[in-house]
Amino acid sequence: MYLIVGLGNPGREYAATRHNVGFLVVDELARRWKVENQSWKNKFGGELAQTSIRIGTADEQIVLLKPQEFMNLSGGATQRVAAFYKIEPSHTVVIHDELDLDFGKLRVKVGGGHGGHNGLRSVSEQLGPAYMRVRCGVGKPNTKERTIGHVLGGFDKQESKDLPLMIGEAADAVETLLSQGPTVAMNKHNADKPRPA
C-alpha cells in the first residue's frame, strides 16, 4: 500500500496558486486512475480517497490525500492516515511546490531536509524525513520579502500555459516511483527536458 500526499491550502481562494501544485498533481492522478468524485471522504483532517492500480503483475492499494488543515499543519493529517493504514515513510510520496527550482522543472528525491518549506517541515516532524518527494518548480521571486505573495499568488500567463505539462510530468514521476522505484524515477525525471516555445 502507498500513500500519495499532495500539499496545498484548503479553500477556493488558494485553489489556483503556486503553493497548491501538490493538490493539482493528486487531482491529475485521481483522473488517470478513474477515482470517482464520490470516492473522496473528509477524514483524518484531509480529503482522502482509496483506489487500486496495477503495478507489474499485481494490484496495489493506493491512498490519495490532500491535507485540509493548511500547509504548515500538513503533517498532522499525513501522520494520522499513515498510522491508520500502517503505511511506512518508504511507501509515502509527498508532492509539493519548490521555490529553488525554475517553474516547470521537476526533481524526485528521497529524504533530506525541508528547505524552509512549511509543509515539508510539518510532514518531517510527524513522519521523519525518509519519505519520497516530487518537487515541482515554481520559481523564486526577486526578493525574499515577496516569497509569501509569490507562493500564494496565481500563475502568470506563461506559467498557466506550461502548468498542464508540469502537472502531467509530476504525475508521471509518481507513477514511475510506484512501478520502478526511486532510483529509476530520479534517473528518468530529474533531467531537464526542453520545453516548447
Catalytic residues: 19
**The C-alpha cell of 132 is what?**
519520497
Q: Quote the CA–CA distance of 169 and 38 in Å, as a whole number.
A: 26
C-alpha pair distances (Å), 58 with each of 4, 61, 93: 18, 10, 20
| Alpha-carbon distances of 105 from 98, 127, 195, rounded to whole Å | 9, 26, 10
